[in-house]
Amino acid sequence: MERPWLASYPPGMPQHIADDEFPSLTALLEQSARRYSKRPAFVSFGHYLSYGEVDELSASFAAFLQSRGLERGARIGLMMPNLLQYPIAAFGALRAGLVVVNINPQYTVRELRAQLRDAELTAVVVLDMLGAGLREVLQDTPIKTVVVTALGDLLPLPKAWALGAALKISKGWRGPPVISGAIAWRSALSQGHRREFRAIARCRQDPAFLQYTGGTTGVSKGAILSHGNLLANIAQITPWIRYPWSEGKGLNECEEVILTALPLYHIFALTANWLVFFALGALNVLVTDPRDLTGLVRTLRRYPVTCMTGVNTLFAGLLRTLDFEKLDFSCFKMTLGGGMAVQSTVADEWQMVTGTALTEAYGLTEASPAVCINPLDGGQGDGGIGYPLPSTDCEIRNEAGHGLALGETGELWLRGPQVMPGYWRRPAESAVVLKDGWLRTGDLGTMDAKGRIHLKDRLKDMVLVSGFNVYPNEIEAVLASHPVVVEVGVVGIPDAKSGQCVKAVVVADDSELSSAELEAWCRQNLAAYKVPKVIEFRASLPKSTVGKILRRELR
C-alpha cells in the first residue's frame, strides 16, 4: 500500500519503531524508576513523590497483593481520581503480574456491577468517598480483596488531617461507608513492606490493562491492551514529541513538567501523561478535580508546566476562567488535544493567549490509544487529526472494505503494533472491528495528498437528511464560533419529510440569544440542509468523565 504521510515526516523522524527494547511494560517502568530515582515523579496536594519512592512503594504494594494469593493474570480494579495512590497501585499490580482494570468513578450502581462482573475482578482499590456504590454491588462479584484509600493517604499526616478537615467543612463529608473485610491503604503498604516482593516475568503478549471503552456510542467493552501494545505506543509517541518542531522546543529527558487534569483511568491520560512522561523522567502534576477550573488556574500558576493534555471543553473552559490569560506561559512547550474534535475557534484563542499551539491528535481505546498526531508547531487550523504515527498504517475504505482514493470520504481503518488483540470475552464484537490485522475505527474521514487525515464524524453520529450526509462536528464548529455560544451538541432526530433533521442543543452565555439568531448564523455558513431545524437551549450538556459531549444521551 502507498504511505503518502511518510514524505511529510520531518527529517530524522523514524518511519518505524523498534519493538524489542523491553520485554514488558513493567521492565520499562522499573528502569525509569531506578534511572531517575532522585528526581520528583509526581506531585499532588503540594506533596512530591520521587521516582525512587514510587519504586519502593509499588514494590511494597506488589508484595501485599502476592500475599493475598493474587496470581499472575488476575484482574484488579482501580477506582479513584488522580491521586498519588494511582500510579503506585497500577505499577504495583503490574509488578505482581496482574492485569489492571480502570473503573470510572462516575459509574452508576448498574454500570459498576456490570463492569466488575464482566472483568471478573478478584481485587479492587477504591477511594473511600466512592465506596458506597462498591459496597452495594460487592456481593454480586468475585472480589475477595478490597483496599480502601483516602485522599491524603500518601501525604504527611499534618497535610492529610488538614485535607480531611477541609472536606468535612466544604463538602459535608461525614466519613466513608464501612466495607466489611476491607483493608486500609496504609495497612496494605505496611504489610507489603514486611514481605519480600517476588518479581513476575511478563512478556509483550501478556495483557497489561483491561481498558473499558467510553461507551459514548453504545455498551462499554473491555479492550485487552497488552504490554507490547502499550510499549509500542510509547515508542511511537516519544520521537514525535521530542522532535524540535520550533525554536528548539522538543521535549527533553528530565526537563518536563506535565499537567495531568484528565483522569488517569482514561486511556488518553494513562498513556500520554503517565507512561510516556514517566519514561522521560518528567514531573507529573496530578489534578484531582479538573472541574474546578479556578483551582486548575492556581495549579498552573504554582508549577512551571511545560506540557498539558486535555479535551476541547477543558481548553474552552480555561479560556473563560478568570485570570487564566494572566498566567506566565513562558515554560509551555506542548498542548495536546484529543478525545473529541478540537474546534478551530478554541485552538486559535489558545495559541493567542498562551503562545503555544493547541495540537490535535487522534486515538481510540482499542489502539492504546494514539494513532495520528499533527506537528507540534501548529499552523494547521483546519480540523485535520494529523499524520499516522511511525509503524502505523491508515486507509480510508468504503462500506465493502475496499480502499478509496485520496480525498474520498469513508471509514478510517488502521493497523499497527498498538492495536489490541480483541475485546475481553466478546469474540463476536472483536470479529466485527478486527479484520485481517486491521482495526475498523467507526470514524468517517478523508486522507489528503500529503497523507494527513481529516475526520468528518463518527459513523454512528452521521445524520442523513434527504439522502445528504450531514456531519455533527461541522455544525458544532459553526455554532461554537458564535460569540456567546459556550458549548453545543448536534444530533439527528426523526423527521417525517426528510427522514432525519438536525437538532442542536446549545449552552450560551447570553440568555437573550434566540434560536432565530442562531439559525441565521448557520445559514450564513452552512448549506440549507445542514442548518438545524430544532435548536434547544440548556444550562449544561451531558459529558463523559474527560469532558466529551455524549451525543448518545442527547439523542
Which of 124, 80, 116, 134 is closest to 98 using CA atoms?
A: 124
* DSSP structure string for 196-227: --------TTSEEEEEE---SSS---EEEEEH
Which pLDDT score, from 0 to 100, does residue 216 have?
A: 42
CB 147, CB 131: distance < 8 Å: no
pLDDT digits 0-9 by tens, 75-107? 999 999 999 999 999 999 999 999 999 998 888
**CA–CA gap between residue 143 and residue 125 (Å, rounded):** 11
Surface-to-core class of residue 509, CB atoms within 10 Å of its CB (0-12 exposed, 13-18 middle, 19+ buried): exposed
3-state secondary structure of 360: strand
Q: What are phi and psi of 296, to 5 degrees?
A: -65, -40
Q: Where are the alpha helices (DSSP H) in 131-173?
A: 131-137, 157-171
* Residue owning grid cell 503555544: 356
Residue 274 DSSP label: I
d(CA 336, CA 334): 6
* Phi and psi at residue 473, to the nearest 5°: -55, -40
Q: How far apart are CA 78 and CA 124, in angstroms?
A: 6
Grid cell at residue 476: 458544532
Give the residue among 366, 497, 338, 487 at the shortest CA–CA distance from 423.
366
Counted residue by residue, the chain has a size of 555
Residue 368's pLDDT is 98
The side-by-side arrangement of strands in the sheet containing 123-127 is 183-184, 145-149, 123-127, 75-79, 99-102, 207-212, 222-226, 422-423
Name the residue type at position 187: S
C-alpha cell at 480: 461554537
Closest CA to 22 of 4, 13, 35: 35
Q: Which residue has the cell 495559541?
A: 351
Long-range contact list for 287-296, CB < 8 A, 24+ apart? 287/82, 287/259, 287/260, 287/261, 288/44, 288/45, 288/81, 288/82, 288/83, 288/151, 289/81, 290/261, 290/262, 290/263, 290/314, 290/547, 293/317, 293/318, 293/321, 294/321, 294/322, 296/261, 296/321
**CA–CA separation, 326 and 240 (whole Å):** 30
CA 289, distance to chain mean position in Å, is 15
Cell numbers 479513584 correspond to 80
Q: Residues in the chain with pLDDT < 50?
A: 216-217
**Mapping DSSP to helix (H, G, I), strand (E, B) and coil, where does residue 332 land?**
coil
CA distances from 185 to 94, 136, 168 (A): 17, 20, 21
pLDDT at residue 274 in the model: 98
Q: Give the angle subtended at the CA of 17 by the CAs of 443 and 235, to the nearest 5°.
A: 75
What domains appear along the chain, each with residue ranges and CATH number? 51-202 (3.40.50.980), 462-554 (3.30.300.30)
